[in-house]
Amino acid sequence: MSSETPFQINIPDEKLSILRAKLELATFPDELEDIGWNHGPPLADMKRLTERWRNGYNWRKYEKELNQELPMFTRDIGVDGFGALNIHYVHKKSKTVDAIPLLFCHGWPGSFLEIRGMLSLLTASSPEHPSFHVVALSLPGFGFSEGAHKPGFALDQYAEVAHKLMIALGYNEYVTQGGDWGFLITRRMASKYGGKHHKAWHTNFPMADPPSWKSPLSFLSFLLTPWSAEEKAGLERTAWYRTKSSGYFVEQSTFPQTLAYGFTDSPVALLGWFYEKLVIWTDDHKWTDDEALTWISIYWFSRAGPGAAHRIYSEVHGDFYNLGRTSYPTIPMGASYFPKELLLLPSAWLRRLNNVVIESHHKSGGHFAAYERPEELVEDVRKMFAKGGPAFAIVPGRSGYA
């Protein structure tokens, strides 16, 4: 593994000119009367966002903000069978020497941007709460990380990259936090590297299989215990996702290359695909146009191209719904539940087969909890590793306190 290289985002002027030229040529479909969001992003929203992206949105302004705000680096990480991949990551150390090394792992359609609201909170030093050294990588094929160049780059490989990055940074023992694909990746890390290196993990996307007849007592309890109001609402949200909002999953996990042609050639296609998710997967988050366009621009300008990131669905598809057929991690786990998450299953299902040491249930927040509710998520993580918390001093010599 190579040494790290400081990184600054600097999109070539030529790419900005090509983007504007493509937006100039945008052609829009018609729209059914009074259809609202029932068929996807409204035509008026798409026209407004396209015009803003073309004329008014200042990428250089936000590029500068990111460069000033986030300490970014790249380094080569060797992946067994795939050679070395150049990985982009944010790395900010706390002033507290004994801060806890924490890896933040995003998912799709997220990116390293999701750490922005949490970074200063997690690294803050105080006698009242633990502090963390934070690493937030761009997953291979996302953001400014190099993508895999051949098939077979699956969950083990994503976990290998993240683990080797922490080792390369000198963090031989660490904890993790993640949602969406970050849940599955850090879960695999907990299974492969748990105990010796990976000491504890926290997620805001807690998934678990329901009890089955193979565990008679758990299954009987499952049949006889009535749902709480929160559990009913969660199962209704899960049913909504599966029937109304999961079509993307099928296409991305079967023929991602088909989508890649549209995403790579048409910024409007990319905009529509992503903006839909940003709006309906959050808990009434008030996206400004520039905020949404910055999020989507990270994909448009990504190193591997806007058609690369969603390949993770095809490569890792078998692991997504395969939770009950693999061993469960034994290291301490924390879970946060937000009411507008996509899959909201009874917390008892998670506790049944995982070493859940702390869980939190929130009144608001959606799929992008790190971005929508950074204060609440940071507080959950702090409680897990705080003095008196269930995972206090889980990393030897790194209590998180001065």
Residue 244 structure tokens = 């109304």
Q: Which SS3 state, helix, strand or coil, does residue 321 take? A: coil
**Burial profile 335-352: b = 16 or more Cβ within 10 angstroms, e = fewer:** bbbbbbbbbbbbbbbbbb
Return the DSSP state at 265.
H
Q: Determine the residue type at 383.
A: K
What b/e readout covers 276-311, taking b as 16+ CB neighbours within 10 angstroms?
A: bbbbbbbbebeeebbebbbbbbbbbbbbbebbbbbb
- The string of DSSP letters for 37-49 reads TTTSS-HHHHHHH
Total residues found in the chain within this entry: 402
DSSP conformational letter for 380: H
Beta pairing partners, 176: 103, 201
Q: Is the dihedral of CA 170, 174, 179, 184 positive or negative?
A: positive
Catalytic residues: 180, 313, 367
Region class of 56: left (phi > 0), else alpha (psi between -120 and 50), else beta = left
Contacts of residue 352, defined as CB under 8 A and 6 or more positions apart, other chains included, come to 208, 211, 215, 218
Question: 3-state DSSP call for residue 79?
Answer: strand
> Do residues 215 and 225 lie in contact, with contact meaning Cβ atoms separated by under 8 Å?
no
Please report how the helices 256-265 and 267-280 are oriented relative to each other, as an axis angle in degrees rounded to 10.
Answer: 110
Amino acid at 392: F
How distant, in Å, are the alpha carbons of 27, 100, 202, 225, 375 from that of 129? Answer: 53, 12, 17, 37, 13
Q: 28 exposed, middle or buried (CB, 10 Å; 0-12, 13-18, 19+)? A: exposed
